[in-house]
Amino acid sequence: MRIGFIGLGAMGQHMAHNLIATGFDVTVWNRSSDKLAPLVEAGATRAVQAADAAACDVLITMLADDDALTTVVDAHDLIEAMPENGVHVNMATCSIECARRMAARHENAGRHYVAAPVLGRPDIAKAAKLNIVAAGDHDAIERARPALEAMGQKVWPAGEAAYKANAIKLATNFMLVSAVEAMGEATSLTSAYGIERADFLEIITNSVFGAPAYLGYSGAMANREYDNPEGFKLALGAKDMDLALAASKAENVPLPVGSTVRDRLSEALAAGDGDLDLAALAEGSRRAAHLDDND
């Protein structure tokens, strides 16, 4: 199977490496060409044009957001460059409306669009342990399944409508960001009573909250070390919360917790924390509680 891969950021680099390591014939393209060298050294083919990556059995994109996806697709005529009945698997977190538009455009052109957003951070992607939520034409998903299984530990089917996978992803990230904010607030509460951050976080992550969402961020929160290149950037959490709130508004589903957490994300962005790990949300709670560095 020939696979085209576009979008070699923190997640995409690891995902493409795993495809190469599994033995797939991978053609790579990225807007920033410096990201290509390590993959070419690992055995990938460097695409001269983005359309070269699209002219494969399966095109995988892992771009930052709706705008990045639309810009690359339109600027390089990727849908037209795909083979007849080709499969485009978009593995990024996108809006519901973007998924609907892309699915319709591909169908009108005689191509297949599969939404397959991933659950996991870059370190999980590197270990090929991602959970992948896939929605779209059943046969198209099955054609792409060998590649998906090379990048993740499980593929979760989500139906024929591509946007359903994105709805699941947005709901998941809404819960994740809310959980990290709650953990930060709880840590500030216990800190105000003289309890060491690390002690409290060790207790909760080894008892009632021993789940990946808490375990993955408690270490950074305990040590107040948020500069993690393998982490989930706070700015991306804000983007995903915006998408979740937009999806909720479209269907009149109240998300009062989401609105409150979005305010805290806005405060963190204003404080310059956007490029830090999502665990830096805890600093907003500390600032609001007027805790000093000894608390």
129, 154, 164, 169: the catalytic one is 169
The 8-class DSSP code of residue 65 comes to S
Q: How far apart are CA 205 and CA 12, in angstroms?
A: 29
From the CA atom positions of the chain, what is the Rg in Å?
Answer: 20
C-alpha pair distances (Å), 29 with each of 55, 99, 280: 12, 22, 32
The dihedral of CA 146, 147, 150, 152: what is its sign?
A: negative
Structure tokens at 250: 């479209």
Task: Return the axis-axis angle of helices 96-108 and 163-191, rounded to nearest 10°.
Answer: 160
Q: Cite the DSSP H helix spans in 130-162.
A: 138-151
C-alpha pair distances (Å), 136 with each of 89, 92, 217: 9, 15, 32
Q: Is 164 a catalytic residue?
A: no
Residues annotated as catalytic are 169
